[in-house]
Amino acid sequence: MQSKEIENKVKIVSKKDAIEILYALKESPKSFTQISGNMDTKSKRLKELMKHALVKTLVMEGKRKKVGYAITEKGIIILNDVENLGKHL
């Protein structure tokens, strides 16, 4: 993997609330309102994480169907890599 590619991936997950969103979704899929954070920042981050296939949308069942978010396998791998990096720092 080239250094520029690594740098781009680190930039994605180092943005405000990105890691927090991935951790929240690792526990279980959540609706937008169940994910903590500033609404504008959260919206931007979710779009970026979806663009890079770290998060996906899904339909959540309930009284009314609503859109939810879930972490992808790629997102779990990235989150595990971040945790491993943190152990070495």
In this prediction, residues 57-77 reach a mean pLDDT of 89
Phi, psi of 71 (to 5 degrees): -75, 145
Side-chain-side CA neighbours of residue 28 (13 Å): 4
Q: What are the boundaries of each domain within the chain? A: 3-88
Long-range contacts of 73-77 (CB under 8 A, 24+ apart): 75/22, 75/25, 75/26, 75/49, 76/26
H/E element holding 36? none
Report the pLDDT averaged over residues 63-71: 88
36-61 tens-digit pLDDT: 989 999 999 999 999 999 999 998 87
In whole angstroms, what is the distance from residue 81 CA to residue 89 CA? 13
CATH number listed for the domain at residues 3-88: 1.10.10.10
Percent pLDDT > 90 in the chain is 55
